[in-house]
A and B are shown apart, each in its own frame.
Chain A
Amino acid sequence: MTPARYFPVAAERDLPYRHVFHARLFDQELAIWRADDDQINIWDNRCRHRGVRLSIGQNMGRDLRCQYHGWRYASGDGACTTVPAHPAGPVPEALCARRFPVARAGGLIWTSLDDRAPLPDLAGGALVLRALPIMAESSRVMDAIAAWPGAARLDPFTLQVDGDLRLMAQPAGPGQMVLHALHLGPAGDAMALRRAVNHRLEDLRRQIEGDR
């Protein structure tokens, strides 16, 4: 059972033109891609045919093409539209990429493995600082940050530091997480802010991974 909530799995800027982004949430591999009409798709990272990762496939603008046999899955409903081995024949009935819900808030892309989850709320805008993968369980990382002066725990996966730094956990898999850092409200000198947060998070990672 995974928590009924949305987690950040990518940033808007991780999805440039015709790219396919690879992410993981609770050990579920995800292929994340933006169609040319700006629709964002979050799919199980496996072609339904022979299990090849869709993240090594090609973003064709309106559909995603598997690298192995050229099967195409349409943006939006994920329906398989083309099986090149049988150009004349019907596509296997009702065959679709396995989809996960997509939410966009605060410059991040969010998904949930549970359809009943409430949508994330980040009204007011935010500056995406960075995402940092750390080889540790989310709970360990969040506990370490919660001990910082000025840190407040909003929920088990979200911390607020010094009023405007928000740190969110993406539990990727056993012993692996990604920490997403956002700055809420007016940023001022964005470069100086990024540099300061970057140093702080790199120190955190060294401390946590060094402790293993």
Chain B
Amino acid sequence: MSVAAGIDPDTWNRWHVVARLDEMPADGIRRTRLLGHDITVALAPDGTVEVTRGPGEILPVTFAYGFAWASLGTPSAPLFAIPEYHEADRRNLNGGTFRVKTSAPRAIENFLDMAHFPFVHTGVLGAEPHTEVKDYDVAIAADGTEVTATRCLFYQPLAAASSTGGADVAYRYRVPHPYCAILYKDSPAHPGRMDVITIFIQPAEEEEVIASLFLSLLDDETPDEDIRRFQQHIFAEDKPILENQLPRRLPLAPRAETPIRADKSSIAYRRWLRQQGTSFGVIR
């Protein structure tokens, strides 16, 4: 493990998403920011990737889900697993990349939140009067590696690009990384199985992030562009909310904001960040 002034060791030594490999610039060079540091992602013609900080410090790099991940420190564990990604009958798709003026934890909380569906994604992911968030379960894994929310149920007029009407949709969430979250939701096409929608957030600065959506769907019918348009439409509704949320960094003090029962997942997520010692993108 190595450390840097001002950034907690957990964040410093983690893998962070730094590039979507199918969206690299034509010259193969992506200059970007990670945790407030200048980094360069270089994709060579032979497919190898090198990530450097500043003038030439080579950073550890790994690949998963079509993305390059790097660390400013020394990762002590491999990146979290998404087993569904490898299932043969799934379509793994790019759901769009968005720059947002907020902190990574604010964006993760928004991704975990169901209560906003009728007001922000009106007519698609929710609709009045179906505003109730029914009780669900949250847990922090015994080994402390992730937060989960299970047994979530919410009425949705148009749950996915392939939906034909409204339905009570079952959700399950995993937060296996402070800046990444995975949503499992009922697949309209395959009853009993779940589509996977993930958000990987590159913490460029404390209050500016690059959020990438990545989908692993059970849907052989809907064209790629329709699925992508659906996800972009949803995110375009979240972005102005996120950019009007103050403070931009997530306050971790239990009484800094006003949580209610529906916010159980947010309460657990904030507690987990406190336990991890996360300092980047939060107010401790």
Is B142's beta carbon under 8 Å from chain A? no
A46 near B246: Cβ-Cβ < 8 Å = yes
Whole-angstrom distance between the Cβ of A78 and the nearest chain B Cβ: 14
With A and B bound together, what is the CA distance between A46 and B256 in angstroms?
Answer: 12
Name the prevailing secondary structure of the A interface residues: loop
Is B63's beta carbon under 8 Å from chain A? no
The 8 A CB mask of A110-145 against B (1 = contact, 0 = none) is 000000000000000000000000000000000000
Is B261's beta carbon under 8 Å from chain A? yes
Contact stretch, chosen from B112-120, B184-192, B215-223: B112-120
Is B62's beta carbon under 8 Å from chain A? no
B120 near A68: Cβ-Cβ < 8 Å = yes
Is B257's beta carbon under 8 Å from chain A? yes
Is A52's beta carbon under 8 Å from chain B? yes
What is the chain B residue whose CB lies nearest that of A84?
B131
Is B161's beta carbon under 8 Å from chain A? no
Whole-angstrom distance between the Cβ of B154 and the nearest chain A Cβ: 10
A56 near B240: Cβ-Cβ < 8 Å = yes
A51 near B240: Cβ-Cβ < 8 Å = no
B261 near A69: Cβ-Cβ < 8 Å = no
Known: A67-B119, A67-B120, A69-B119. A85 touches B131 (CB 8 A): yes
Residues of A within 8 A of B261 (CB): 85-86, 89
Is A92's beta carbon under 8 Å from chain B? yes
What is the chain B residue whose CB lies nearest that of A44?
B246
Contact of B247 among A49, A51, A68 (CB under 8 A): A51
Known: A29-B246, A53-B244, A83-B260. A69 touches B116 (CB 8 A): yes
Is B258's beta carbon under 8 Å from chain A? yes
B245 near A84: Cβ-Cβ < 8 Å = no
Chain B residues 259-284 with CB under 8 Å of chain A are 259-262
Contact of B244 among A52, A83, A86, A87 (CB under 8 A): A52
Contact of B258 among A48, A52, A53, A68 (CB under 8 A): A48
Is A76's beta carbon under 8 Å from chain B? no
With A and B bound together, what is the CA distance between A87 and B131 in angstroms?
Answer: 8
Nearest 4 A-B pairs (CB), nearest first? A84-B131, A85-B262, A85-B115, A53-B244
Known: A49-B258, A50-B257, A67-B119. 9 other contacts (CB 8 A): A49-B257, A51-B245, A51-B246, A51-B257, A52-B241, A53-B246, A69-B116, A85-B133, A86-B262
List chain B positions with a Cβ less than 8 A from chain A. Answer: 109, 115-116, 118-120, 128-129, 131-133, 240-241, 244-247, 257-262
